[in-house]
Amino acid sequence: MGTKKVKISSVKRAAHLKSKKAPLSKQQQQKIKQKREQLSSKREHGQNIFSQKAHKRDNLAQRKKQNKRQSLGLHNELDVDEDDDDIGGDLLLDNIADMLDGDDLALLQENKRKRKTKAAPVEEQQQSVGLEMAYATASKKEQAAQKIKVNLLPIKSRDGEIITRTTEVDYVPRQKHKAEAEEESEEDDEENENEEDSDDIFEDSDDDVVNDEAPVPKQKLVSTTDLLIARQQEIERQKYRIGIICSGILEKPEDKMRNFNALYELMNEVNPETGIPNLLAVRKLAMISVTEIFKDILPEYRVGQVDTKMQTVRKATLERVTFENALLQQFKKFLQKLEHLTAQVNKRGGHKTPQSIKMASVAVQCMCDLLISHPYFNYVQNIAQLLVYMLNCNYGTMRVAVNQCFRTLFSNDKKLDMTLFIVRRINHLIKSKQNNVHVECITCMMGLKIKHVNLDAEKENELKQKKLESHRQRLLSLSKKERKRRKKLTEVNKELEETRAEENKQTKHHKLTEIIKMVFTIYFRVLKNDPTSRVLSAILEGLAEFAHVINLEFFADLIDVLNRILEEQDLGYREQLHCIQTIFVILSGQGEVLNIDPIRFYQHFYRNMLVVQAGKNHDDFSIILRTLDEVLVKRRRNMSQQRLMAFVKRLLTGSLHLLHNGTLATLGTIKQTFQLTSVLDALLDTDTTIGSGRYDPELDDPEYCNAESTSLYELSLLARHYHPTVRRMALHIANGVPASGEGALPTDIGKLNAHELFAQYDSTQMAFNPTIPLPKQGEPKLKRGRQMYLRSDFKQHYAKLLKDARTKRTMSKKALQLDFLSALNRQ
């Protein structure tokens, strides 16, 4: 086969020939070598024209001098270096001067003068060097005594004012590092050479602080005072260092990611670089500072992994991805350190010391802050899982911190993903521990915002599916035109649902349903398997809180279980009140359809109404108030007249033993009951012959205590109460709860319900409502009393005796002493 010729364009050919390297000839190589030597000589001698002229003048004078000596025949004798042998040269010139005259003698003397003036610049140079050294020493002393002002982090006062702070520190000059980098590139076609000048590179201003280059004191501390002073100085120094590092990171986190390592070293028990143990206060401060930095710089979204090697991204995107990856690595490293601190006290056989327990408590608080501030960032589920296990630790402060954290998260969580995850982990923890957990594992779920959740939604959906199936069968029998019209209508309805965000609502409702199912799974498991557990009180409190969303199928069984617990278990008054509240919430809602007689629950509630008093358990009166709303307000039509009067009478009797806010809440409930029914007006009548029998306040059955045979005498006592609002409310009820006229309440008090009165007039914060007025300033006026006499004739005898006694006193000049009894007997 013959070769095939291919035509190539002139442009491609020229580019090919240019890129092809031909071997150089010997002449070209010699020219290149000469040019390199010329460039090196220029670099040595410099390119300054003045320096070149100076060299030319020196060379010219030297050649003239050498020619003159050669003409005199002295080239052998003067072949000595002038700089090394000045004295010998001068003697030689003096001997020659004796043999010369005229112009030759003048030339020799001129050379001698030049030799003498040559030593003068050397002395001046030595003197100038001494002055420069003295100036450098003085400047160093000034720098050592110099102080500079440094701005500290601002603080915020209680009034919201930003206060700036400054301090004076020793001046430390920046260390200067010189690096000479010379890059020469030669091109064969152009034969040029480029040179880069050296630049002065300075270190960052806070690198010395980050690297902790402060000198370690070598003083040997012996006394306790010196140790305390050194400890305080070390704490202040590390505070300043941590402040500088944190401000540098917050200023530009993209370039300061490496500074996190300095803070991590301060968190360790022993500094790995110096080998010196870190103080506990410094470790806590470093941990809290890192937490605050992450709270500020962490993004609100979840960072994804982007492989920049496999795909091409823009420069801005590359910088953002690099920063996010570095931030994620530092966050992961910080969480590992926190987990290590908590593992020392949470695991069996851990190194439990007072210092490790304090560090673990701070670590738990830091994780709680990170979970609340960024609930959807990377590794947050790991934080939540660790905090769930800390709910069951042996340290109360950690359990309280995690409990409060979960309550705050449950109330602020909008997506409900993290809430569902935490509730599932709590369920797994309680199940694995066989219900032997601390109370905080149950009480934290009280913060769930569950209001309108229908657990029967699945059954309703099944019924709806059957209806839709029958409707579809009817649609199949329609004509083609009608089916087309139905299809368009369905598409329009679907678009409307999308615009109304119906899908998001359905997803949120589904998550709420899953959460409440998990909660009731925990509650029912404890009630069924371990009714004597120590978390029974929290379980009953949770049932009372979420009883309005319990499935209708469980009502009858749940009431039987609660009744059995009330009858058989030795419960406290708080657990009994929670049981009764749960039962009445069930019976007041969907449980009205159940055929259950609640008389035994009325008796339990009537018996426990007087347990709460103005002592430590006064706050538990809110449980009684919530139960009274269900008993006296919502179920008033299902109660007999005698039972209703008995509850009102006992409630008013118990108000005498409460604080003023509890008394106001009691009177508010009674006022509302008076407004809703008229059968209670008989209790305002003081005629006790109306009823049958005699009122027995000690009987525990409200049906047979004969409350209609008594009156509300407690209102007369409350009308003289120390609180003005209580007095006004008692008179209002005693007058028959009038809407206007005499005894009517002001609008701002009459519109409040019992719960609002209990909270608004609470004085636990040492604040009295209304404010107590200050007494008026002034001296009290003393009124002179009037003398009273039982016998009308005694006044005359009394005046006569005083007159005689005064006359005798003036004569004897003695003190007035009078025996009225003996004087009256003589009369």
- Mean pLDDT, residues 772-777 taken together: 76
Nearest-angstrom CA–CA distance, 706 and 729? 26
Tokens of 275: 């080998």
Residue 183's pLDDT band, with cuts at 50, 70 and 90, is very low
Question: Which residues fall within 8 angstroms of residue 462, CB to CB, at 6 or more apart?
Answer: none
Nearest-angstrom CA–CA distance, 32 and 39? 11
Answer whether residue 47 shows pLDDT above 60: no
Residue 293 one-letter amino acid? I
- Mean pLDDT, residues 545-558 taken together: 80
Tokens of 690: 């109306």
Other Cβ atoms less than 10 A from the Cβ of 170: the count is 10
Nearest-angstrom CA–CA distance, 38 and 340? 68
386: buried, middle or exposed (CB in 10 Å: 19+, 13-18, 0-12)? buried
**Rounded-to-10 torsion of CA 578, 583, 589, 594:** 170
- CA nearest 383: which of 291, 445, 301? 291
Reduced to 3 states (helix: H, G, I; strand: E, B; else coil), residue 661 is helix
Please give the share of the chain, as a percent, with pLDDT higher than 70: 69
pLDDT for position 418? 92
Give backbone dihedrals phi and psi of 179, rounded to 5 degrees, phi first: -130, 120
For the chain, give the mean pLDDT: 78
Question: Which residues fall within 8 angstroms of residue 241, CB to CB, at 6 or more apart?
Answer: 209, 210, 212
Choice among 458-462, 570-574, 718-722 with the minimum mean pLDDT? 458-462
15 vs 205 pLDDT, higher one: 15
| Residue 612 backbone zone (phi > 0: left; psi -120 to 50: alpha; other: beta) | beta
Instruction: Answer for the pair 368, 401: CB distance below 8 angstroms, yes or no.
Output: yes
DSSP for 103-168, written as a single string: HHHHHHHHHHHHHHHHSHHHHHHHHHHHHHHHHHHHHHHHHHH-EEEEEEEEEE-TTS-EEEEEEE
- CA nearest 95: which of 64, 114, 72, 117? 72
Choice among 25-39, 269-283, 568-582 with the minimum mean pLDDT? 25-39
DSSP for 604-652, written as a single string: HHHHTTTS--SSTTGGGHHHHHHHHIIIIIITGGGS-HHHHHHHHHHHH
Nearest-angstrom CA–CA distance, 283 and 776? 57
- CA nearest 234: which of 277, 197, 279, 203? 279
Choice among 49-53, 82-86, 338-342, 703-707 with the minimum mean pLDDT? 82-86
Nearest-angstrom CA–CA distance, 618 and 658? 7
201's enclosing H/E stretch is strand 199-202
Answer whether residue 97 shows pLDDT above 60: no
Measure CA 190 to chain center.
Answer: 66
**Number of helices followed by number of strands (H, E) in the chain:** 32, 4
At 598-617, the pLDDT tens digits run 888 898 899 889 999 888 88
- Mean pLDDT, residues 669-694 taken together: 85
Residue 217's pLDDT band, with cuts at 50, 70 and 90, is low
At 783-817, the pLDDT tens digits run 666 777 777 777 777 778 778 777 766 655 444 45
Choice among 157-161, 191-195, 374-378, 621-625 with the minimum mean pLDDT? 191-195
**Most confident listed range (244-258, 483-497, 773-787):** 244-258
- CA nearest 551: which of 446, 456, 451? 456
At 648-674, the pLDDT tens digits run 999 999 999 999 999 999 999 999 999
Secondary structure of 349-395 as H, E, C letters: CCCCCHHHHHHHHHHHHHHHHHHHHCCCCCCHHHHHHHHHHHCCCCC
Measure CA 443 to chain center.
Answer: 22
- CA nearest 284: which of 355, 208, 202? 355
Nearest-angstrom CA–CA distance, 714 and 733? 11
pLDDT for position 154? 83
Answer whether residue 732 shows pLDDT above 60: yes
Other Cβ atoms less than 10 A from the Cβ of 175: the count is 10
pLDDT for position 534? 82
767 vs 286 pLDDT, higher one: 286
432 vs 569 pLDDT, higher one: 432
Please give the share of the chain, as a percent, with pLDDT higher than 90: 23
Nearest-angstrom CA–CA distance, 265 and 290? 12
pLDDT for position 373? 92
Answer whether residue 764 shows pLDDT above 70: yes
- What's the chain's length in residues? 827
Cis upstream peptide for 770 (omega within 30°): yes
pTM, entire model: 0.62
pLDDT for position 457? 55
Choice among 218-222, 394-398, 433-437, 538-542 with the minimum mean pLDDT? 218-222
- Mean pLDDT, residues 160-183 taken together: 63
Tokens of 216: 């370690």
> What are the distances in angstroms from CA 594 to CA 219, 587, 589?
85, 8, 10
- CA nearest 367: which of 393, 345, 398, 397? 398
